[in-house]
Every structure is written in structure tokens, then in C-alpha cells.
């Protein structure tokens, strides 16, 4: 077999052009492709994972691919540990079982996972590199607020009712935030008509804490709005809806009472 010979170009600009082209196209960050064999292992070992559920025939999926890859490049420079942030994708035509598992009905859909657990809210922000990167940075920020003094404690009542997981009390053990504390102290927030809800289970059992917060923070009767309508319908559960005038609070109260009395066991199923 004769060796192949490639003559050098007499034009030095050709070499420069190739060099510039290579420098302007660095190695792109790899997007992890998920299938039934690796999805659980990859998602369970990732602190945060953003998964793109797509279909090749979908024009919007095609448009998102380069944006998603570039956002992955940006974030991987800030979080180089492969388990800190994972950008992954699922071809829903090839892996319809995964699409059904996560109730994917439109493409593309971006879902956030934390330690293998899918968050209920999908990403609905702008489909841009900056917006997606900012979203991941927000997810990686520390959600725990350190309280330094008593005034900060009393100001936390402003968050009540606004958070998915909120607690109506603060417990200190061996802390000097408010002076010498020799035992567990209890500080109720000055909320009107907001009874304290005290968690008495193990503080090291994630499943117990998660179940408790879900029970306390997700209302039995939820209001459907323009902002959350699509999110609620994507849960795939049947609806029991009360249509009432805005000022008709009496009907709303009766509806909530009857739901609590007759359908409390159906929470999460209806």
C-alpha cells in the first residue's frame, strides 16, 4: 500500500486560517445521553441535573440543541466536578418509556433533578445561554439562610406562605444568637391565623422530612392561575374544580371544608 502524501500549501494564510478556525471552535462540553440503562445512576449521583427531553423531528428541539450545549460549556467552567452539575438529554422517540415515566408530552421539555429527584416545576425561562446558565447558578446557590440576630428571626415571617417549604419556628441548640441558650428554645412567628407546625421527627431522615414538608406546604385545595395552569395539568391527575366569583369567599370556605372532610385520603391522587 502506497503512503498518502499531502503536499504543503504554498499559501501561509491557509495554515493561519486553519489555526484560527481551531481556536474559535474549542472542544464542546459533552451532553450526557440518557437511556434506561444509565439514567438512574447518572441522575442519582448528580447534585443538580438539567435534562432536555427532545424529539429530533421537532424544530424547536433542533433550535435548542446548540443553546443547551453552549450553556453546558459555560456552567462546566464554573462547576468542573462532573457530579456538581450534569447537562443531559433524552431522545423521547427512542426512549418512549422514559418519556412516559416522567410524563413528557411536549418537546423540548427541560426538567430539573436534584440527587435523582425530579422537581415538579419544569424550566420555563428563556431559551438562551445566559438565561439557562443563570437558572443553574440559582439552583446551585445555598438555599439555607443563616440567622445572625433576633431581628432577622422576627423578619422571617415575611416569607411565610411564599415558600414551598417553610417552617413557622426556629430552634437553637447551644447558640448565642440571642444570648445563653442551655436547652431547645421555641420562637413562634407573630403570624395572625397561622398556627405553628412543629416537625417532631428525625432531623437526619430525608424521607420523613420530605413527606412532612409536602404534607404541610402543598395545600389540599390549590388555586388555578394563568401562571400555574399548565404546571398543574402536567401532573396528569383528574381535577375537581370550584368556579366561584372572586368575592364569594363563603362558597370557597365550604368547598375547602368538604374536600378536607371527604377527600383528604385522595390528596396526591386528585
Look at residue 22 and tell me if it is in a domain: no
Look at residue 96 and tell me if it is in a domain: yes
pLDDT of residue 221: 85
Half-sphere exposure of residue 233: CA atoms within 13 angstroms, side-chain side: 9
Number of domains in the chain: 3
Look at residue 235 and tell me if it is in a domain: yes
pLDDT tens digits, one per residue of 232-256: 777 777 888 899 898 998 998 898 8
**Greater confidence, 132 or 30?**
132
Containing H/E element for 111? strand 109-114
If asked whether residues 173 and 268 sit together in one domain, one would say no
Which residue range is the domain that position 208 belongs to? 146-218
Is the pLDDT at 1 greater than 80? The verdict is no
> Which of 124, 140, 156 represents a domain boundary (last residue)?
140
Q: Which of 49, 41, 53 is nearest to 96 (CA)?
A: 53
pLDDT of residue 150: 66
If asked whether residues 171 and 156 sit together in one domain, one would say yes
Residue with cell 368538604: 258
Look at residue 6 and tell me if it is in a domain: no
Look at residue 263 and tell me if it is in a domain: yes
If asked whether residues 70 and 90 sit together in one domain, one would say yes
pLDDT tens digits, one per residue of 45-67: 999 999 999 999 999 999 999 99
If asked whether residues 133 and 153 sit together in one domain, one would say no
DSSP calls for 24-83: TSPPPPPPEEP-TTTHHHHHHT-SEEEEEEE-TT-HHHHHHHHHHHHHHHHHHHH--STT
Q: 87 by DSSP, 3-state: which?
A: strand
pLDDT of residue 4: 47
**Greater confidence, 136 or 210?**
136
Give the percent of the chain with pLDDT over 90: 39
If asked whether residues 60 and 158 sit together in one domain, one would say no
Predicted confidence band of residue 152 (pLDDT cuts 50, 70, 90): low
pLDDT of residue 268: 66
| C-alpha grid cell, residue 93 | 422517540
If asked whether residues 88 and 181 sit together in one domain, one would say no
Specify the CATH number for the domain of residue 51: 3.40.30.10
Say what the alpha-carbon torsion angle 166, 172, 178, 179 is, to the nearest 10 degrees: 180
Amino acid at each position: 500500500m502506497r503512503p498518502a502524501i499531502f503536499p504543503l500549501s504554498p499559501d501561509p494564510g491557509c495554515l493561519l486560517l486553519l489555526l484560527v478556525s481551531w481556536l474559535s471552535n474549542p472542544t464542546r462540553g459533552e451532553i450526557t445521553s440518557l437511556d434506561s440503562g444509565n439514567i438512574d445512576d447518572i441522575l442519582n449521583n448528580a447534585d443538580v441535573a438539567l435534562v432536555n427531553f427532545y424529539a429530533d423531528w421537532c424544530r424547536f428541539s433542533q433550535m435548542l440543541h446548540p443553546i443547551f450545549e453552549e450553556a453546558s460549556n459555560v456552567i462546566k467552567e464554573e462547576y468542573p466536578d462532573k457530579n456538581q452539575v450534569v447537562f443531559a438529554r433524552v431522545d423521547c422517540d427512542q426512549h418512549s418509556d422514559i418519556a412516559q415515566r416522567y410524563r413528557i408530552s411536549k418537546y423540548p421539555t427541560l426538567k430539573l433533578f436534584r440527587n435523582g429527584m425530579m422537581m415538579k416545576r419544569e424550566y420555563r425561562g428563556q431559551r438562551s445561554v445566559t438565561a439557562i446558565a443563570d437558572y443553574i447558578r440559582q439552583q446551585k446557590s445555598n438555599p439555607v439562610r443563616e440567622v445572625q440576630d433576633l431581628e432577622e428571626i422576627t423578619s422571617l415571617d415575611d416569607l411565610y406562605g411564599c415558600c414551598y417549604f417553610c417552617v413557622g419556628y426556629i430552634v437553637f441548640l447551644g447558640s448565642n444568637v440571642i444570648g445563653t441558650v442551655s436547652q431547645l428554645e421555641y420562637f413562634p412567628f407573630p403570624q395572625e391565623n397561622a398556627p405553628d407546625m412543629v416537625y417532631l421527627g428525625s432531623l437526619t431522615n430525608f424521607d420523613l422530612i420530605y413527606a412532612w414538608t409536602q404534607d404541610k406546604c402543598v395545600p389540599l385545595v390549590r388555586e388555578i392561575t394563568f401562571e400555574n395552569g399548565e404546571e398543574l395539568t402536567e401532573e396528569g391527575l383528574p381535577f375537581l374544580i370550584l368556579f366561584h366569583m372572586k368575592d364569594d369567599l363563603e362558597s370557597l370556605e365550604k368547598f375547602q371544608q368538604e374536600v378536607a372532610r371527604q377527600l383528604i385520603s385522595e390528596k396526591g391522587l386528585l
